[in-house]
Amino acid sequence: MSSKPKILADENIPRTTIQSLRSLGYDVVSVWEVNPGMNDEQVVQLSIREKRIIITFDKDFGRTALTNPNVPGVILMRIPPANPEYITNRIISTLKSVENPYDKLIVVRRNTIRIIPLR
C-alpha cells in the first residue's frame, strides 16, 4: 500500500472529518486551525510549501489546480455539505480508491469520482 497523502483541509471541511482522517493516520493540516480566514492564495501557497492535497468545497481551487502547475493536488467535493458523517465517508472512500491523489484534480460527486490529471 502506498503511503498516505498529506492533506490540507480547507475551512469548509467539518472538524469531525479532520478528526476522523487523523484517527486513520492521515497527516492533516486544517485552515481553521492554522490561520482561519486565510485567502485562497495563502491556502494554495501553504499546500505547495508543504506538498499537501487540498480538500475543499470551493470550486475556485479546482480552477487554480488547472492553472497553477505547482499545486500538489485538489479533492473538490461537489456534494451538499449537509451531513458531516457522509462527507467524511466520501472523502475516506475517495482517498482509499484513488491510488495516488497527487498531481490530480479529483471531483467527488454523490455517485461518481472524476479524476483529471494536472500534468
- As a whole number, the mean pLDDT across the chain is 94
In a domain, 1, yes or no: no
DSSP string of 82-109? T-HHHHHHHHHHHHHHSS--TTEEEEE-
Average pLDDT over residues 85-98: 95
Res 82: pLDDT: 78
Res 1: pLDDT: 42
pLDDT, one tens digit per residue, over 72-87 is 999 999 998 779 999 9
Domain range for 45 is 7-117
Q: What CATH number is associated with residue 109? A: 3.40.50
pLDDT, one tens digit per residue, over 27-80 is 999 999 999 999 999 999 999 999 999 999 999 999 999 999 999 999 999 998
Percent helix, strand and coil across the chain, each rounded to 5? 40, 20, 40
In a domain, 2, yes or no: no
| CA–CA distance, 39 with 108 (Å, rounded to integer) | 23
Total count of domains within the chain: 1
In a domain, 46, yes or no: yes
Terminal C-alpha separation, the chain: 23
- Using CB atoms within 10 A of its CB, is residue 29 exposed (0-12), middle (13-18) or buried (19+)? middle
Res 2: pLDDT: 54
pLDDT of residue 99 exceeding 80: yes
